[in-house]
Structure 1
Amino acid sequence: MSRHVPVNAADHRDLRVNPAPRADLGDQVMSCLTVPIEFRRVQNEFPILFQRNPETGRLHALAMMGFEEGENLFLDGDRWTARYRPLALAIAPFRIGRSSNPDEPAQVHIDLDHPRVGDPEGVRLFDDSGLASPLLERASDMLHQLDVGLAAAGDFYDALDRYELLEPFALDVTLDDGSESRLVGYQLINEEKLQELEAGAVAELHRDGHLMPMFMALASLSNMTDLLARKNRRERDG
């Protein structure tokens, strides 16, 4: 369940949010949404794969953190072991809220039923004067980045489809202990097709800002080796 309301000092001055990375606070996930404008930061740590919504056929990108549901190999107790935390994961329990009037500005909403909310060890959203805390200001900034990224992502995915640059991806992994893991139902950018694009298509992709995120997504695939090593360590160490 979720209960989203606009954040305001009058109602939420004393409300606390725990931003710590922890399994019981919602970080125990094998993947999370990412957007092209953050691919440069994501690709340093996580493989980036693509997936289609089975109902709409629309694409989205995912930062991969594990090989099975409920597995986050970058979470070690309450310690985040990557140098970056994707926006879609870092913003919880906040989200962008909009009214039915398109002329009204977007608002920061909070899910009052989220496990991060109301923790007495958490951080207040406002100070005694009613000013936003650094935590709330950071959340607002990240929400803006994600909102801009989501708005721009559609054109990027349209370009991938227009030039038929995606191919199905599945990965069968045999771990050191002999057990197996498998990733299925994903897509990745076909590097050969990208390299074979005509000069005009490459110029168009570069002009529209799509070429760099494509290269970042390709570069991110080298992180599969690290992800597998993390999986083996987790299985070995228990």
Structure 2
Amino acid sequence: MASAPQQQSQLPLFYNALEPLSSEAHANYRARAMDSAPFLINQHTIPITVDEFTLAQRFMPIVFTAGDDAIPIALMGLNEGVNVFIGEDGKLLENNFYVPAYVRRYPYMLARLRPDAQELSLCFDPTSDALGNFDEGEPLFADGQPTELVKNVLAFNESFEQAGARTNQFMGELREMGLLMEGEVSIQPEGAEQPFVYRGFQMVNEEKLADLRGDQLRKIHKNGMLPLLYAHLFSLPLMRDIFARQVQLGKMPVPELTL
């Protein structure tokens, strides 16, 4: 039997509750395709993994959160509550866009059912409209066994967890080498009296990166970190594109802001 859903205060972004997927409790559940993501409408930052840097950097700036436990995030807007890639109906405004894996895994995720549990279990958000005892959609179980859909979902979530572990290792290396610094971007729109300044994030110190020599340089070249660092740096000019999109959408920010 499925245990009681976990409460919201314990859960990551987007998840309102969490319930383990069970062949008994959810024997008649189906998954239906969703063409919109209402939970993204007002979300301007999305966690991403290092596996996604080279894809995401074509569409969104990649920066790092503030603090000692920084994680990489993709910016879908520069201001809180603004997402320039999602319409008011929760649908993408353009088809040629990379949707981060963190978004694509919802409403599923792997989680420990108890704090002392060693294994992760496939869970889902029971408040999502994607899963339920519907007449339409793909079944999750057949004859008490997971269908191919569930097997694919499980494989995707396992890959996501593995990418998360690689991301944690990457961030540990960044901190060890002292390559992160406080970020600041100043954008001066035409006709504005003062620039719009964005702070509250971290970025790679390009000067320190260029000064790396010997063992450190060989290390980041050999372990694959170097192209990831440059993918991050190459994505930063997109912050101005995001700003321009906000202007076009009539969602002008207020000067002196943090991400």
Q: TM-score range by the shorter chain?
A: 0.7 to 0.9
1:164 aligned residue: 178
Deviations 1:84-118 (A, max 9, x none): 1001122111111235342x4x3221011245544
Mapped contact 2:29–2:134 kept (Cα < 8 A): no
Which segments of 5 or more consecutive residues in structure 1 lack a partner in the other structure?
A: none
Structure 1 residues 9 and 173: alpha-carbon distance in aligned structure 2, compared to 1, 3 A threshold: farther
Whole-Å separation in 2 of the counterparts to 1:117 and 1:178: 48
* Aligned CA-pair RMSD: 2.9
Structure 1 residues 177 and 203: alpha-carbon distance in aligned structure 2, compared to 1, 3 A threshold: same
Please point out which of 65, 79, 83 is paired with 2:91. 79
Q: Secondary structure at the match of 1:79?
A: coil
- Aligned: 1:68 with 2:79: yes
Amino acid at match of 2:83: N
Q: Secondary structure at the match of 2:184?
A: strand
Alignment of 1:62-211 (within 5 A): 62-76=73-87, 77-80=89-92, 81=94, 82-99=96-113, 100-102=116-118, 104=119, 106-114=120-128, 116-118=130-132, 123-126=137-140, 131-132=146-147, 134=149, 136-174=150-188, 178=192, 182-211=197-226
Mapped contact 2:204–2:229 kept (Cα < 8 A): yes
Deviations 1:57-104 (A, max 9, x none): 2110110001222211111234322521001122111111235342x4
Which structure shows the higher strand fraction? 1
Structure 1 residues 158 and 128: alpha-carbon distance in aligned structure 2, compared to 1, 3 A threshold: closer
Mapped contact 1:17–1:119 kept (Cα < 8 A): no
2:55 aligned residue: 41
Structure 1 residues 177 and 232: alpha-carbon distance in aligned structure 2, compared to 1, 3 A threshold: farther
CA apart distance, 1:9:
3.5
2:12 aligned residue: none
- Aligned: 1:52 with 2:66: yes
CA apart distance, 1:29:
0.4
1:222 aligned residue: 237
CA apart distance, 1:194:
0.8
Q: Secondary structure at the match of 1:235?
A: coil
CA apart distance, 1:164:
1.6
Whole-Å separation in 2 of the counterparts to 1:121 and 1:172: 52
Q: How many residues align?
A: 229
CA apart distance, 1:125:
4.8
1:213 aligned residue: 228
CA apart distance, 1:139:
3.5
Whole-Å separation in 1 of the counterparts to 2:141 and 2:34: 17
TM-score scaled to structure 1, two decimals? Answer: 0.81
Structure 1 residues 45 and 142: alpha-carbon distance in aligned structure 2, compared to 1, 3 A threshold: farther
1:19 aligned residue: 34
Amino acid at match of 1:191: E
Whole-Å separation in 2 of the counterparts to 1:52 and 1:34: 15
Q: Secondary structure at the match of 1:19?
A: coil
Aligned identity (percent) is 20
- Aligned: 1:3 with 2:27: no
Whole-Å separation in 2 of the counterparts to 1:148 and 1:78: 29
Q: Secondary structure at the match of 2:43?
A: coil
TM-score scaled to structure 2, two decimals? Answer: 0.75
Amino acid at match of 2:34: P
